[in-house]
Amino acid sequence: MRFNFKMLLAVILSAFICVSCDQILWREISIEPPQNSFELVLRDAEGGTFESNPSKSTYSAGETVSIKAIPNEGFMFKCWSDGVSEPERTVVINGDMELGGEFTRRSWTIVMYMAADNDLESAAILDINEMEAADIEDSGITVLALVDRAEGYDGTNGNWTDTRLYEIKHDDDGLNGNIISERISCNTLGLSADDDSELNMADPNVLHNVLRFAQKQYPASEYGLIMWGHGTGWRGTNCFSSEGGSYGPVTETAGVKAFAIDDYSASFMTISQVHQAISKLPEKLGFIGFDTCYSALLETAWEFRNDAAFMVGSENIVPSNGWNYQIFLDSVAAEACQNATSAQAAQASQTASAASLPAETLANCAVSAFSEQYTGMASASISKINLSKVEGLKSAFERFCASVISGITSSSAARNVLNCVMSNVLSFSYPGSACDMYIDMYSFVNQMNTSKDTIFSEPDDTEVFSHMDSRRSSFVTALNKAVSSWSGNGAKNAKLGIYFSPLTSSGAPSYNFSPAYIKNSGDLTQSAFVADSQNWVPERNTTTATVLNKIFFTEF
């Protein structure tokens, strides 16, 4: 039997049919219009939000849309779900699209204050390269570098000589001499990412404003500051001129210079000005580091005892290369990632989550990196100072000094003490120039106690003098609680220094103390330690019994 199949009429696009009789089916074809609108879905994520511009329900094919990741306070953007790391980007809509992203808690924002408007310009470029060589992008660490360059020392990277603020970015090419970090604007400082501006890095307002900017724009669980450049310890300079009683041009200093030395403005920042800039911040610092010479001093620690939790610095000269920031930041990043893993494990097990990376861990990383860099260099040393323990340390030192004072009752005893310090006590100074001399506190205390039977005269207070040995023990206990250190020569007790005296160019001690280190002199640049010390610093009234008065100024 045969049947005729005439036409096809169906809404079915294709099918098998069984023909058992004559059938007439009509064919009807309709053309589906192409889809010309698509959706862009941005998935929510913990720690931040996303926005699109323009923001609408559907987009035309081929339309370009700007999308932006916005971290919540205390978070930082990690990457988009397709692996792109830039928080602001554009996408072209050619179909329905769904994107998400990941945010991570910002545990630390660290500000590098790089006063390189001087002969350390090349070292600054190297150190920025070291920061970029470190990989901190997934660690929850943000590093901002405010750097001021000089003229004539380094011609790389366009040879710019103004002041620029960078958010440090990782460079896959490592140490190649090129700065690839993101240049950012800071309205508070008058800095634009597109224009050149010269700032006076010796102005404490500049330091305060960049720290305040960092805390506002890069909120974190903890904040750190690293003062980078030249330094002379308790005061800003050693160029005090006795003729006229004023500070001469900073460029006249020999080798060792001030905190935030700025050649362009011929100025510097005193230790008290650094404190003033930090103490006014809304958030206390967890860490302050000094990549400078002569910073691990009692005077410095006392100044910042209420401004930060931990301080790191060296009591001796630091080589011009300073800290190795690749080693330091890689170490910090590793600790931060390990800490974050512990926090996630604690959260998964419903236990208390781990805290943000502790300030002491950051300080330990700085000490460890420095020791790795300068192993074999006998003169290199670095100290970690728990600033909450400094008051106890100062009190113990002042009590020991009272015993020393009681034993200096004659001009011969004063000479004996001076000779002992110059010959036997570990000291630090810039060789071959008129400069300042610092001494190691432990070395001084130990030598005074060890030599007490030969260098002192009949004490004017037998009871106080008799306590010298026990007070030495109390001081050592307080020192070990407050300070841990590493030294290239293996010395375990060289931890913290203190100012002793000016030196002449021949290396002899000078009686020409700056008013900034004479208590009650009226000098406005005095550090807090000079004002607060009872038994160490010289007084304007030279009859007052202090160690330095007895050695240098008392007439017996």
pLDDT band at 74 (very low <50, low <70, confident <90, very high): confident
* 3 state SS of 440: strand
Please give the pLDDT value at position 18.
66
Which residue, 146, 248, 247, 153, is CA-closest to 198? 146
Instruction: Render pLDDT for 98-112 as a digit per residue (tens, 0 to 9).
Output: 999 998 889 999 999
Residue 357 shares a structural domain with residue 407 = no
Please give the pLDDT value at position 241.
30
* 3 state SS of 526: coil
Please give the pLDDT value at position 433.
74
Average pLDDT in the 504-526 region?
A: 90
Instruction: Give the DSSP H or E segment for 499.
Output: strand 497-503
For 181-195, b/e burial (b = at least 16 CB within 10 A) is: beebebeebebeeee
Residue 319 shares a structural domain with residue 416 = no
- Determine the number of helices (DSSP H) and then strands (DSSP E) in the chain: 14, 25
CATH number for the domain that contains residue 289? 3.40.50.11970
The chain-wide mean pLDDT, for the chain, equals 86
Domain assignment present for residue 248? The answer is yes
Residue 90 shares a structural domain with residue 169 = no
User: With contact defined as beta carbons under 8 Å apart, do 542 and 554 qualify?
Assistant: yes
Listed residues 373, 407, 429: the one ending a domain = 373
CA-CA distances (angstroms) from residue 17 to 6, 20, 21, 23, 29?
13, 10, 12, 11, 19
In this structure, what token pair is assigned to residue 76? 């930082």
pLDDT at 463 over 90: no
Domain assignment present for residue 251? The answer is yes
Q: Is the peptide bond before 502 cis (omega within 30 degrees of 0)?
A: no
Between 91 and 73, residue with greater pLDDT: 91
Residue 355 shares a structural domain with residue 486 = no
Domain assignment present for residue 483? The answer is yes
Between 177 and 496, residue with greater pLDDT: 496
Residue 509 shares a structural domain with residue 529 = yes
Residue 280 shares a structural domain with residue 396 = no
In this structure, what token pair is assigned to residue 253? 């200093």
Residue 177 shares a structural domain with residue 323 = yes
Domain assignment present for residue 18? The answer is no
Residue 298 shares a structural domain with residue 252 = yes
**Strand partners for 112:** 145, 226
Between 255 and 235, residue with greater pLDDT: 235
Give all strands (DSSP E) within 284-369, no chain letters.
Answer: 285-291, 308-313
Any idea how long the chain is? 556
CA-CA distances (angstroms) from residue 351 to 104, 223, 338?
20, 26, 17
Domain assignment present for residue 265? The answer is yes
**Strand partners for 69:** 50
Residue 416 shares a structural domain with residue 474 = yes
* 3 state SS of 48: strand
Q: Which residue has the tokens 């306070």?
A: 73
pLDDT band at 5 (very low <50, low <70, confident <90, very high): very low
pTM of the entire predicted model = 0.84
Residue 433 shares a structural domain with residue 364 = no
In this structure, what token pair is assigned to residue 183? 């240049």
Under 8 Å CB-to-CB from 283, ≥6 apart: which residues?
A: 215, 223
Residue 128 shares a structural domain with residue 99 = no
Listed residues 49, 79, 105: the one ending a domain = 105
The strand pair at 308-313 and 381-386 is best described as antiparallel
pLDDT more than 70, % of the chain:
85
Residue 195 shares a structural domain with residue 342 = yes
- Domain tally, the chain: 3
Instruction: Give the DSSP H or E segment for 400.
Output: helix 390-407
User: With contact defined as beta carbons under 8 Å apart, do 224 and 259 qualify?
Assistant: no
Give all strands (DSSP E) within 54-162, no chain letters.
Answer: 59-60, 63-71, 75-80, 88-93, 97-99, 101-105, 108-115, 141-148
Domain assignment present for residue 458? The answer is yes
Average pLDDT in the 308-319 region?
A: 93
Instruction: Render pLDDT for 199-234 as a digit per residue (tens, 0 to 9).
Output: 999 899 999 999 999 999 999 999 999 999 877 655
Under 8 Å CB-to-CB from 319, ≥6 apart: which residues?
A: 374, 377, 380
How far is the first Cα of the chain from the last one, in angstroms, to the nearest whole number?
A: 144
Listed residues 61, 90, 105: the one ending a domain = 105
pLDDT at 412 over 90: yes
Domain assignment present for residue 117? The answer is yes
Please give the pLDDT value at position 242.
28
pLDDT band at 541 (very low <50, low <70, confident <90, very high): confident
Under 8 Å CB-to-CB from 405, ≥6 apart: which residues?
A: 535, 545, 546, 547, 550
pLDDT at 236 over 90: no
User: With contact defined as beta carbons under 8 Å apart, do 124 and 93 qualify?
Assistant: no
Show the domain range for 545: 389-552
Alpha helix stretches (DSSP H) within 171-251: 204-217
Domain assignment present for residue 13? The answer is no
